[in-house]
Amino acid sequence: MEYLKDDIMPTERIEDYLEALNAIIKKKGYAKVKDIALMLHVSPPSVTEMFQRLQKQGYINYEKYSGVTLTDKGIKVAEKTQKKHVIICSFLETLGVPHDIANDDACRIEHIVHPKTLSYMEKFVSFIDLYEEGPKFLKKFIQYYQTELLKK
């Protein structure tokens, strides 16, 4: 999951845009300014400005008033960001965090998590998935957490 030496680490905002673009493109085959504006809750002019920046950096193919597609470089970043999101969300849900909170937190954490930490999270989730109903210690943790909440 490492970036190549020649690649500049994309910013959090760039990762968010590429992840959103990838999701929309997978559904429609292309994305438009209004699609991203709605998904990311930003203004269309902000999207247009970012599209121009993404094109200059080689992440997208963009023509004003047309659909946008990702370049191979853009797909690589989008898929890497999405994979981090899924791992973190799964890890948090394994701990008993409700999906909506885990999803929101994963959106923030995916941009700052150290690759080694992410690797541990991924291995932990894989380990837990080996058990049909989860290991006993995890059930006990969730039970403990819920009991502590009732005391408050």
In CATH, the number for domain 84-151 is 1.10.60
pLDDT in tens, 108-152: 999 999 999 999 999 999 998 888 777 788 888 888 888 877 777
* pLDDT confidence bin for 80, thresholds 50/70/90: very high
Q: Report, as an integer, the average pLDDT of 84-104.
A: 95
From the list 24, 44, 25, the residue with the least C-alpha distance to 34 is 44
Task: For the chain, give every domain's residue range.
Answer: 12-76, 84-151
Is the overall model pTM greater than 0.75, yes or no? Answer: yes
Return the SS3 of 61: strand
Mean pLDDT, the chain, rounded, equals 90
- Asked if CATH classification 1.10.10.10 holds for the domain at 12-76, the reply, yes or no, is yes
Q: Look-up: residue for tokens 């150290």?
A: 114
